[in-house]
Amino acid sequence: MNLTEFAIRRWQLTLVLFILLCALGYSAFRTIPRAVDPHFELPIVIIAAVQPGADAAEMEQTGAKPIEEIVQGLEDVNEVVSSSTDGNTVIRIEFDWSGDPDQYFNDTVREVTAARSRLPAELARLDFKKMRTTNAAVLQFALVSDTASWRRMDKYARDISEAMSRFADVRESNIYGLPQPEVTVAIKPARLAELRMPASLVADALRLGGADVASGAVVSGARRFNVEAGGAFKDLATIRALPLRSNDGTILRVGDVADVYWGQKKRGFARSTMASARYGSSPTRKTVPTRQG
């Protein structure tokens, strides 16, 4: 008697086994963990190095290659891939999937940090990141304008980011694309030539005016207060009022020989800002035009 004949002849037993199998499948379906973006550890580490002013070739030679040589000496490394652009280099290290991702990350941070002296002194930032399956940008707003200032674009982006952060399901909201603000001091060469002053005099005044210098202490009763002279500039008026020299009873200031205004660091791409919210896995983009500001 074969199996098929036995199942037909003993159909009551076959029916009971089939019902038990369906009940087992239904129970597994109800109890098995489920998630839209299930989290699991990835044995991948991302290293991002930033060196302002360096071109892509320099970043590859002085940034990417030394880091690649360091991480190649780690255990269980499967693949090392780097990508360099002007001022940035990104190195992706993939380890063996059977190991501990946290241990791989700690080893990478320790070894690269210990060999920091092999990297350029001009390196502004060195970031280490873990690859995560839950970090998926599902909604992106791109703000584009030909006339709005960067400070106005910053205001728009922060307003949108704060509005998205109010939703309970939003895990994180980030802003990308904004340049770092900086103060521009544009020297007037004709004015300096007229006064017979070197440009280094303005540079020295800016350097000394923004330095934190301890000037001692003042004692008032039982309390002692430390006094500091200088420090970071609070506004543009303070920079314009920095004294350069005194002549015939009048004080020559930075604002007399230079234009001081807000600017931003040089960028290699178009004027646009992006606000991104992370709470899922399917990206959706929307472009919002901005008005002049």
Of the segments 34-38, 44-48, 205-209, which one has the largest average pLDDT value?
A: 44-48
Beta-carbon contacts of residue 1 (< 8 Å; ≥ 6 apart): 9
Nearest in space to 46 (alpha carbons), one of 105, 116, 97: 105
Q: What is the pLDDT of residue 285?
A: 41
Beta-carbon contacts of residue 121 (< 8 Å; ≥ 6 apart): none
List the chain domain ranges: 41-132, 137-180+267-289, 182-264
Q: Poorest-confidence range of 83-87, 156-160, 176-180?
A: 176-180
* The CATH number of domain 41-132, selected from 3.30.70.1430, 3.40.50.1780, 3.40.1190.20, 3.40.50.2020: 3.30.70.1430
Percent of the chain with pLDDT over 70: 79
Phi/psi of residue 76, nearest 5 degrees: 65, 30
CATH number for the segment(s) 182-264: 3.30.2090.10
Q: What is the pLDDT of residue 198?
A: 85
Nearest in space to 143 (alpha carbons), one of 134, 130, 156, 132: 156
CA 44 – CA 99 distance, rounded (Å): 11
Distances from the Cα of 203 to the Cα of 206, 249, 257, angstroms: 5, 23, 12
Q: What is the pLDDT of residue 140?
A: 79
Three-state DSSP class for residue 286 = strand
Tokens at residue 53, please?
Answer: 């002013």
Query: Would you say the CATH fold of 182-264 matches that of 41-132?
Result: no
| Interval 78-90 mean pLDDT | 89
| Interval 273-284 mean pLDDT | 46
CA 170 – CA 174 distance, rounded (Å): 11
DSSP H/E element including 139: strand 137-144
pLDDT tens column, 159-215: 988 888 888 778 778 887 776 667 888 888 888 888 888 888 888 888 777 655 555
**Measured torsion, CA atoms of residues 127, 130, 131, 133, in degrees rounded to the nearest 10:** -130
Helical packing angle, 101-114 and 65-72, nearest 10°: 130
Q: Poorest-confidence range of 27-41, 112-126, 265-279?
A: 265-279
- How would residue 291 be classed by pLDDT, with cut points 50, 70 and 90? very low
Nearest in space to 204 (alpha carbons), one of 242, 238, 151: 242
CB 193 within 8 A of CB 187: no
Q: What is the pLDDT of residue 248?
A: 66
Three-state DSSP class for residue 25 = helix
Q: What is the pLDDT of residue 85?
A: 87
